[in-house]
Amino acid sequence: MAADTEKEVQAVLFQEWVLALRDRAGDSRSDRWRVVRPNMDKERCTDCGVCIEACPMATICADGTVIRIRYEGCIGCGICAVNCRIHAIQMEPSPDWRH
């Protein structure tokens, strides 16, 4: 399988997994089961908006010209972090998660 095709297949599989995760959540109480969540470094962030487009849950929004994450609906998938080319988003343990 060509590298590009393999990457595309992986991207589709990942997207399907994320959508399944979203369906399983059933509601916006992702804090009950989310293990990690994104932490945005505002010193690095250029407010380009790429992560807004990438987030499957639409939980990243523009507050005026400033980009921010609304954690209420975040499923911790990490797609925002992967799509930020300057690595301004790091995934970290979710403080809400109960073991």
Binding to ligand SF4 by residue 94, rule CB under 6 A? no
* Dihedral-angle region of residue 53 (phi above 0 means left; psi in -120 to 50 means alpha; beta otherwise): alpha
CA distance 99 to 56: 26
**Among positions 12, 29, 39, 49, the unique one binding ligand SF4 when judged by CB under 6 A:** 49
Q: Which of residues 51-70 bind ligand SF4 (CB under 6 A)?
A: 51, 55, 57, 59-60, 67, 69
Strand blocks (E) in the chain: 36-40, 60-63, 66-69, 89-93
Residues that bind ligand SF4 (CB under 6 A): 38, 40, 45-51, 55, 57, 59-60, 67, 69, 74-80, 84, 86, 88-89
